[in-house]
Structure 1
Amino acid sequence: MHDLRHTAALRMVRDEHLSSRDVQVILGHARLSSTADVYMIEDHAEVVRRVQLHLATREQTPTPPVQVAAGYDAADLAVLLGGLP
């Protein structure tokens, strides 16, 4: 029975339509920290997948050219900021 409760809690935590407070109430935890400590653990493979997706999306999005504000030297900014496009 404990495994069923644990599995249900993990599925609820991953549901974007439920808040952490919703899960806490359903589980009957007195403190939100009790719920967070046990059930809000990131799956490493999922974290890596999200980062890869973010980077792939970011690489496809063209970045607009940087406009150097008046009073700044573009060469100085390139040294300080690691280059300007």
Structure 2
Amino acid sequence: MAESARNPELREAFIASDNIMRQSIAGIIAQGIAAGEFRRDIDPQALTIILFAFIDGLIARKAINPAFSLETDVPAFPDLMSKLLK
């Protein structure tokens, strides 16, 4: 991700991949809403952006500190995701 900020070719590939992943996740969220599994007041696109920002932050933290552990350092992650969706 960091290199894509400096390299135009990587940037294009990163943006294309990121768009595909975001559309896919937003689609899954929309399906969950339609099935009644997730709250109806959720904006799938907005929640996807929030989720990706959170995940990007976790990736950056892990890159800076290899000892970082989702289970140890962010034990409330599963509960947080559940509260965002339900």
Q: TM-score, normalised by structure 2?
A: 0.27
Query: Whose RCO is larger (CA < 8 A, sep 6+)?
Result: 2
- Larger radius of gyration between Structure 1 and Structure 2: 1
**Structure having the larger proportion of residues in helix:** 2
